[in-house]
Amino acid sequence: MESQIHENKKNKLQNLSKKVLMLIAVILGTSVMVNARTEPSKITLAKEVTTSKHKTKEEKKEAKAEKKAAKAEKKANAAKAKK
């Protein structure tokens, strides 16, 4: 009887140790795969970004007036071309 009890304890301990080792192997393997670089990393330089100011109402009005003037000039040129 005693030998069977001792053998059962050994088997349980072996099974547990196998499971723990497999768990460690899986964790280490996963961390290695996650941290592995497949391509050499490229160094990217930071680009300077210029910020533009928001247009004021006056600037918007001036831009609108310029557009209207350009449109009127275009129509006048088209009318001259037809004559």
pTM: 0.38
The alpha carbon of residue 79 and the mean position of all alpha carbons in its chain are separated, in whole angstroms, by 54
What is the amino acid identity at position 53? K
What ranges do the domains of the chain cover?
2-35+57-82
Half-sphere exposure of 47 (CA within 13 A, CB side): 3
Tens digits of residue pLDDT in 73-83: 888 888 877 76
Tens digits of residue pLDDT in 7-34: 777 888 888 999 999 999 999 999 988 8
Structure token digits, residue 34: 């996650």
Q: Return the C-alpha torsion angle 67, 73, 77, 83, nearest 10.
A: 130
- For residues 33 and 25, is the Cβ–Cβ distance under 8 A? no
Radius of gyration for the chain, computed over Cα atoms and rounded to the nearest angstrom: 39
Structure token digits, residue 39: 């391509």
